[in-house]
Amino acid sequence: MAGLDMIRSYLSESEDSDTQDDSKINRDKISSSAKNLLQRFSVPESILSLKGTKHHEDVHDDPSQHDGRTRTFKHERGNWATLVYINYPDYSPICSWLRELPQQIGIKEVLNFFTEFHLSLTRCLVLKFHWIESFVDSLQKLCQSTGEILVEFRDLKVYCNEERTRTFLGLRCEDRNKILKQFVINIDKILAEYQLPSFYEDASFHVSILWCLGDVKEKLNASLPALNESWNSICAEHFLHSFEVSKINCKIGNKMYTFPLK
Ligand code: AMP
């Protein structure tokens, strides 16, 4: 779960930074009583101001804490990592199929398999705290005016993130009525109000099933014919051709919102 596990790793570090918050509060208390004390001895303001703390604290990104992935945006207090997506709940046949895949892929890179699956409808966004309420409200209204969607699985496709630091194998998805495409256009209109980036111009809807570090697009592409053959037989065996979408999920920080479609 690319966007989603990015939010998780972002959150685990926000928790660290919350602990840092407590020590910062203590530091601030100490520095404010020291300030009072020093003022009594009339120390010049210019010297006192040397002990200022930063308003925003950047948190050091340690890739070893999250399978070598690097963050694509800086952790800053007041920023909330956000993703709008569709949950794909029928994961057990896919998980068992994934266990057989390493032999068919045969690359030296470590393959990381997702155990929960989603279809992203936005990029991983950064929302300011004071935007959350109105953003959630607009998204809810949009969902209330959008009918249910039937998503069909197509072939497997290889994707890279924009920084080319991770490669993903995804199940390409389409909906015959093109509701999904219009829905994303409407989400993009909401995002534009906050000057947030829209979804990919050449949007290719997919459910990622595995990822590995680096840009190994070419190597994975070489395995695609065999992988597609294998996927087609699993699809037929477990009737995995399509799934109905009746609700949309939105994860903002550690909060999950679920909006039913019309
Ligand atoms: P996801 O599983 O939805 O997080 O997507 C995995 C990766 O696919 C993301 O890092 C996206 O940047 C990447 N990606 C590359 N090209 C596209 C595209 N045309 N449409 C959607 N996602 C894309």
The string of pLDDT tens digits covering residues 117-137 is 999 999 999 999 999 999 999
- Asked, for residue 68, whether it belongs to a domain, the answer is no
Say what the pLDDT of residue 108 is: 86
Query: What are residue 199's phi and psi, to 5 degrees?
Result: -70, 175
Show the domain range for 18: 2-38
Does the pLDDT value for residue 20 go beyond 50? no
Statement: the pTM of the whole predicted model exceeds 0.85: no
56 is catalytic: no
For residue 161 and ligand 1, the question of a CB distance below 6 A is answered with yes
Position 43 in a domain: no
Q: Quick one: 25 and 99 in the same domain?
A: no
- Provide the phi-psi class of 171: left if phi over 0, else alpha when psi is between -120 and 50, else beta: beta
Catalytic residue list contains 75? no
Q: Are 56 and 77 in contact (CB under 8 A)?
A: yes
pLDDT of residue 55: 35
Q: Check pocket membership of 208 for ligand 1, CB cut-off 6 A.
A: yes
| pLDDT over 70 percentage in the chain | 72
User: Is 57 within a domain?
Assistant: no
Work out the mean pLDDT of the chain and round it to a whole number.
82
| 105, 209: one domain | yes
Number of domains composing the chain? 2
pLDDT tens digits for range 205-244: 999 999 999 999 999 999 999 999 999 999 999 999 999 9
Q: Which of 60, 75, 130, 206 is catalytic?
A: 206
168 lines ligand 1 (CB under 6 A): yes
Task: Compute, in angstroms, the gap from residue 169 CA to the centroid of ligand 1.
Answer: 10
129 domain residue, yes or no: yes
User: Looking at the domain assignment, is residue 69 inside a domain?
Assistant: no
